Structure 1
Amino acid sequence: MLQLRHILICMLLWALPPTAQANDYNLPQLNDSTSATISLQEEYRLGRSWSRILRGQAPMLQDPISYQYLEDLIWRLLPNSQVQDRRVSMFLLDNRGINAFAVPGGVIGVNGGLILTTESEGELASVLAHELAHLSQRHYAQRLEEERKNRPMMLAGMLAGILLAAADSEGGMAVISSTMGASAYQQLAFSRRNEQEADRAGMQTLVASGFDPEAMPSMFARLQRSYRFYGQKPPEFLLTHPVTESRIADSMNRAHQLPKPRNTESSLEFQLVKARMTVHFNESSRKILEQYQAAHKKNPSLANQYGLLLSAIADGQHQLAESTWQSLPDSLKRHPYVQMTRIEQLQSAGQHQQAVALADQLLQLYPGNRPVRMLRANALHRAGQHQQAASAYRSLSRDYPEDAEVLYQLSETLGLIDDKLGVHEARIEYFLLTAQFDLALRQIEYAKREKGLTGSDRARLEQREREAKALREEMKQQF
């Protein structure tokens, strides 16, 4: 059901229709004609609305280490791209399917399964650079004006299909099919020419960011080969990004003409995050542990040593995890990702106070580090230090107000210290972030009934009520 729901969401996210560009060989000049149809600020607001729907419907992969890696990788690429509005939001989806997408307003989504598929950091970067190119060339804004009359009906139909699919998958698919059939968007999400433009702009971004341009055709070829493993249904990425022999040849020819960096090896960070995805998506913790034991015996690389540690943690083999940690070389032990994994290991073994102490030490080394702060808050919560955990989650919610997981954990922790108003307010923000406006308004009503509210408390709740109603109305107009 989660897989179906995610597929429907991805169909919705690709719903804005593109158009072909005038020139096959030169990237289009970005001018005011596109902005006259939909401004960058309007795209940003649309992207925030998409984000709310996505958070509420698609399962997110709650891994602060992997999330931070992907965000850092995007920010390595972004300054070298042509994206004008750099207020970018990233989503890491808990889905092993091969997919990535970009939505107007700077929303980038990546399935965890994409990281599993890529064999190098350059290949992963090539997909992200390609998605950034779709944003920079504003393909989504093309022909929007002429489709404006049909778009709301189509998007409303798709939203209805998503909701129906939660209870009746066949009915949901029927709604989607009829909506798509009645719409002009019954072809692929992007024209071939738009894909070519994204390839060209993406490769320029890739090279400027220090990656091997040949990583892009290498990734295309890998995706094309993946057809054989999917039978009649190709990966989601290929449904919206068709790969042909000519496209692979075109990107290969272009890559040969561009400078190649001296170092084409993947970073250790990429190898560590790929190991995290390998363990996370395993079907059996015992089998993945056996696989890493065999791999480590054959080749005790840093990545295999880390994978052995992760798989031992996942399988609950605490003594093996500890002995593996002790045997890691000092160079690996000092890596921030591995030190954060040590916090996870201590928590899995029930050593919560030690986990908190280590998190405190790491915050001294990496002040303000987001994954360390999240791991520390989790450790405080598990250690029963709920007051301190609530303070940590509240601090994170102020710095990252669009992190729904932080708000969820904050509400749970505030409940344990009997902060009733705090619970209501955290839940209100969570519901607003996940496009559950009726639940948010209901929660505001519950909060208003609490005893002991001050005048300032009531004013704050009433202001949030007005804002929630305005958000709900805005989304009704958009969709």
Structure 2
Amino acid sequence: MKNQTYTILTQKILVFLMLNIFIITSIFPLSAKADLFSFGIKDEIELGRQFDVMVRSRLPLIEDPEIKNYVEEMFQKLLKQAPPQPFDFKVAVLRDSAMNAFAAPGGYLFLHTGLIMNMDSESEVAAVLAHELAHATQRHIAGRIEHGKKMTALTLVGALAAAIFGQGEAKGAGVAGSMALGQSSMLSYSRADEDEADQIGFKYYVDAGYKPEGMVDAFKKMQRRQWATGRSIPAYLSTHPSISERIKDIEARVRQLPKAIQNRKEDNAQFWRIQTLITAKYADKELALARFNEILQSGTEQQKCLAKLGMAIVLSRQNKVKEANEFFNKALQCSPNDNMAIREFGIFNYYKGNIKEAEKYLNLALAKNPRDILTNFYYGRLQADNGNLKEAEQLFKEVLRYLPNDPDVHEAIAKVFGSKGEMFKANLHLAYSYVYQNNRKKYEAQLVKLKELAKTQNEKDETDKIENIMTERKKYIR
């Protein structure tokens, strides 16, 4: 199910995918020289890996462990329903307001924060993810690429541009030749692809235990978003069944299911919590406040409690300290045992310099959930600030096991190693921080220092490792 309201960010993703295809096809032996374009599993895996590098080099991904874990668990429920696959499937969360999710080659899936923010239940989000998973398991992108056997690599890139954006936009991007424009229809998802993704995705979705009607509701929300924005279906969807047809098809499938499955109940408590976090931390501040105010007027009691926490987080983002503090207290009065509210209040106090209050609430949060990654990270920062470097180091190392690409964690442990006089480790983690910030200029300056400090073979190997990581990312970083 492709989003009806593509954002500029989403368009950039697809442009970068085209560029990656060009890069990969110029490396693989399946290049244009053979005048044949076979696209095997290994090729697809490498293309997906390169695409993932590109996304992480150019686009904002969510590293919040609570959000990542939630999406991963939802995805794994769906993936368990699929037959054995040749791919090591991965799902990531993009910070973007589009109601969208998409499958890249090689088992890489991306879900936009806007999908979670704009749906009303986990089942609706899972429905979109299941549809994209079906595109991936059926290798629809690879199938479209293989249909271009007699196309050169560059023509393939142009054809994809034309298929995705339409001929005008492809010409504007400067990547499509006349041959590519003429053959672009070969590379768009076919009607059969979409029908198959609907059918197989629905099976994954129902077998995972979700409420079948949720897929109908998800499609209808996509349709309403299209009407509300007044935007037409993207060019590459023009040959697909209309969304109205697809809704009717899914409704028919739902009616064929046993009543026990049709009438499944769902618990959206965790979904509401994650939706609150995403809206409060990553949505436009004014829109987030408006949404939480609406919930405070008409939501359930549980939703109202979460909305108070959401209001507190947004107000703290606006640096309205007094108002934020009031809403944190309201949230804690409403749900005194809510570990998320306790943790977020501790983090709020940490940033406002209220160290005693920060320590109090972070300790409370740890007592309730010693494995909470975010709590451990901020408790580690407290320990580092207090000079307890050994404890801070252990906490940060544990956090890095779960968040190996988080620049803030690398920066924090770099400071600890610096304070301990372990300068190679300090500079290594600072370099990783710049890599994951996609700050090429600072990274390159840091690499010079790192090479000067590397004396042992292990240190030289570590330097080579990070240099290789950055080399791959350089071609995408602005």
Band the TM-score falls in, shorter-chain normalisation: 0.7 to 0.9
Q: Which runs of 5+ in 1 are unaligned?
A: 18-35, 161-171
Indicate the residue corresponding to 1:303 in structure 2: 303
Residues 354/182 of structure 1: CA separation in 2 closer, same or farther (3 Å cut):
farther
Indicate the residue corresponding to 2:292 in structure 1: 292
Please tell me the root mean square deviation across aligned C-alpha atoms, in Å. 4.3
More moved, 107-116 vs 272-281: 272-281
Alpha-carbon distance, 1:208 to partner: 1.1
- Distance in 2 (CA, whole Å) between partners of 1:463 and 1:276 is 38
Whether the 8 Å contact between 1:83 and 1:132 is mirrored in structure 2 is no
- One-letter amino acid of the structure 1 residue matched with residue 173 of structure 2: I
The 3-state SS of whatever aligns with 1:273 is: helix
Mapped pair 1:4 → 2:30:
no
Mapped pair 1:397 → 2:396:
no
**Where do 1:463-474 residues align within 5 Å?**
463-464=464-465, 467=468
Question: How many equivalent residue pairs?
Answer: 438
Whether the 8 Å contact between 2:191 and 2:239 is mirrored in structure 1 is no
Residues 264/13 of structure 1: CA separation in 2 closer, same or farther (3 Å cut):
farther
- One-letter amino acid of the structure 1 residue matched with residue 16 of structure 2: L
- One-letter amino acid of the structure 2 residue matched with residue 304 of structure 1: K
- Distance in 2 (CA, whole Å) between partners of 1:467 and 1:275 is 38
Q: Deviations over 1:175-225 (max 9, x none)?
A: 535438653446774111111111111111111111112211221122122
* TM-score normalised according to structure 2 size: 0.75
- Distance in 1 (CA, whole Å) between partners of 2:383 and 2:160 is 39
Q: Deviations over 1:113-141 (max 9, x none)?
A: 11122122111110111111112112122
- Distance in 2 (CA, whole Å) between partners of 1:304 and 1:150 is 57
Indicate the residue corresponding to 1:197 in structure 2: 196
- Distance in 2 (CA, whole Å) between partners of 1:469 and 1:16 is 17
Tell me the percent identity: 23
Indicate the residue corresponding to 1:23 in structure 2: none
The partner residue of 1:326 within 321, 325, 332 is 332
- One-letter amino acid of the structure 1 residue matched with residue 70 of structure 2: Y
The 3-state SS of whatever aligns with 1:92 is: strand
**Where do 1:80-479 residues align within 5 Å?**
80-82=81-83, 84-85=85-86, 87-145=88-146, 147=148, 150=151, 152-153=153-154, 176=173, 178-179=175-176, 183=180, 184-185=183-184, 189-232=188-231, 243-259=242-258, 260=261, 262-280=263-281, 282-285=283-286, 288-289=288-289, 292-293=292-293, 295-299=295-299, 301-315=301-315, 316=320, 317-330=323-336, 333-334=337-338, 336-347=339-350, 349-356=352-359, 358-360=361-363, 362-363=365-366, 365-377=368-380, 389=392, 391-403=394-406, 406-407=409-410, 410-411=413-414, 420-429=423-432, 443-450=446-453, 453-461=454-462, 463-464=464-465, 467=468
- Distance in 2 (CA, whole Å) between partners of 1:158 and 1:425 is 42
Whether the 8 Å contact between 1:308 and 1:324 is mirrored in structure 2 is yes
Indicate the residue corresponding to 2:74 in structure 1: 73
Alpha-carbon distance, 1:424 to partner: 3.6
- Distance in 2 (CA, whole Å) between partners of 1:272 and 1:71 is 15
- One-letter amino acid of the structure 2 residue matched with residue 141 of structure 1: A
Indicate the residue corresponding to 1:28 in structure 2: none
Mapped pair 1:58 → 2:59:
yes
- Distance in 2 (CA, whole Å) between partners of 1:388 and 1:86 is 39
Alpha-carbon distance, 1:366 to partner: 4.1
Q: Which has the higher contact order (CA 8 A, sep 6+)?
A: 1
- Distance in 2 (CA, whole Å) between partners of 1:139 and 1:407 is 38
The 3-state SS of whatever aligns with 1:179 is: coil
- One-letter amino acid of the structure 1 residue matched with residue 94 of structure 2: L
Residues 290/221 of structure 1: CA separation in 2 closer, same or farther (3 Å cut):
closer
Whether the 8 Å contact between 1:441 and 1:468 is mirrored in structure 2 is no
Q: Which runs of 5+ in 2 are unaligned?
A: 1-6, 22-37, 162-168
The 3-state SS of whatever aligns with 1:80 is: coil
More moved, 394-403 vs 52-61: 394-403
Whether the 8 Å contact between 2:328 and 2:345 is mirrored in structure 1 is no
* TM-score normalised according to structure 1 size: 0.74
Whether the 8 Å contact between 1:131 and 1:198 is mirrored in structure 2 is yes
- Distance in 2 (CA, whole Å) between partners of 1:205 and 1:118 is 19
- Distance in 2 (CA, whole Å) between partners of 1:120 and 1:446 is 50
Whether the 8 Å contact between 1:353 and 1:383 is mirrored in structure 2 is no
- Distance in 1 (CA, whole Å) between partners of 2:401 and 2:84 is 27
